């Protein structure tokens, strides 16, 4: 067995908020040791660290980070289906604000936020492939998705995204890290991959394995 990270999507101190979390957010990521003890690793409301002199990110992201630091930290927004990438970073998608938050695991077993990937639609589980790309399922129409999930046999519009991390060498050896988001499949009618919540990519064959409420799909051809 190995230590693991798990999601707590609801605020256990305020059970009356449980039904609202999917709209206003909430939740945290907990770290569980081999002994079974757990502690909160991140809630999203932590104070951001000071930027080091040669912070390794594009200049526009540094300006954006400094601007956002002037506002209260909103916390996690219904985190859902996290994964650990082959780069050892932790990727936490959100079902509320359509972002994937990127964290590094510190020696203290706390998570430190280092980046955010913006997809701009409700997201579910994220998974890496052998190439290091991330694959994540999303819901292009949140209202239709909520209605479809509530109905037996309801149609749930779904999208599938690939997130490719790019690292460019800059002057004086400083590296620039960015994320390229590509929509690979979309079913706005919810009839083919409707209700898709999980997607895995076989990089050797190019096939996608998609599962969800009403979907079990193996694609027979490459998606690009």
Using one digit for the tens of pLDDT, what is the confidence trace for 101-130?
999 999 999 999 989 999 989 999 999 999
Q: Residue 174 belongs to what domain range? A: 125-224
Strand runs labelled E in the chain: 4-8, 28-32, 38-42, 83-84, 90-93, 99-105, 111-118, 123-128, 134-138, 158-169, 175-187, 196-202, 207-212, 216-218
In this structure, the answer to whether residues 100 and 175 fall within a common structural domain is no
In this structure, the answer to whether residues 74 and 132 fall within a common structural domain is no
In this structure, the answer to whether residues 84 and 132 fall within a common structural domain is no
In this structure, the answer to whether residues 12 and 68 fall within a common structural domain is yes
In this structure, the answer to whether residues 70 and 26 fall within a common structural domain is yes
In this structure, the answer to whether residues 87 and 182 fall within a common structural domain is no
Q: Report if pTM > 0.85.
A: no
In this structure, the answer to whether residues 23 and 112 fall within a common structural domain is yes
DSSP structure class, residue 51: P
The C-alpha atoms of residue 133 and residue 214 are separated, in whole angstroms, by 26
In this structure, the answer to whether residues 113 and 159 fall within a common structural domain is no
In this structure, the answer to whether residues 22 and 56 fall within a common structural domain is yes
The C-alpha atoms of residue 96 and residue 79 are separated, in whole angstroms, by 8
Residue that finishes a domain, picked among 118, 144, 173? 118
Tens digit of pLDDT for each residue in 56-80? Answer: 556 776 677 677 666 555 678 888 8
In this structure, the answer to whether residues 88 and 29 fall within a common structural domain is yes
Across 8-17, 115-124, 149-158, 165-174, the highest mean pLDDT is recorded for: 115-124
The number of folded domains in the chain is 2
In this structure, the answer to whether residues 101 and 130 fall within a common structural domain is no
């Amino acid at each position: 067995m190995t230590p693991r990270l798990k999601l707590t999507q609801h605020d256990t101190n305020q059970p009356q908020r449980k039904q609202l979390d999917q709209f206003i957010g909430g939740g945290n990521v907990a770290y569980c040791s081999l002994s079974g003890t757990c502690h909160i690793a991140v809630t999203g409301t932590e104070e951001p660290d000071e930027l080091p002199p040669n912070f390794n990110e594009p200049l526009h992201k540094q300006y954006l980070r400094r601007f956002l630091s002037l506002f209260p930290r909103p916390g996690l927004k219904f985190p859902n289906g996290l994964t650990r990438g082959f780069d050892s970073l932790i990727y936490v998608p959100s079902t509320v604000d359509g972002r994937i938050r990127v964290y590094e695991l510190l020696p203290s077993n706390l998570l430190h936020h280092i980046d955010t990937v913006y997809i701009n639609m409700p997201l579910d589980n994220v998974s890496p492939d052998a190439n290091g790309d991330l694959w994540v399922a999303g819901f292009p129409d949140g209202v239709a998705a909520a209605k479809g999930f509530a109905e037996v046999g309801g149609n749930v519009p779904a999208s599938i995204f690939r997130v490719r991390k790019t690292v460019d060498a800059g002057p004086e050896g400083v590296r620039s890290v960015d994320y390229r988001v590509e929509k690979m499949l979309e079913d706005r009618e919810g009839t083919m991959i409707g209700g898709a919540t999980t997607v895995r990519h076989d990089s050797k064959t190019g096939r996608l394995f998609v599962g969800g409420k009403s979907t079990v799909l193996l694609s027979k051809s490459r998606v690009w």
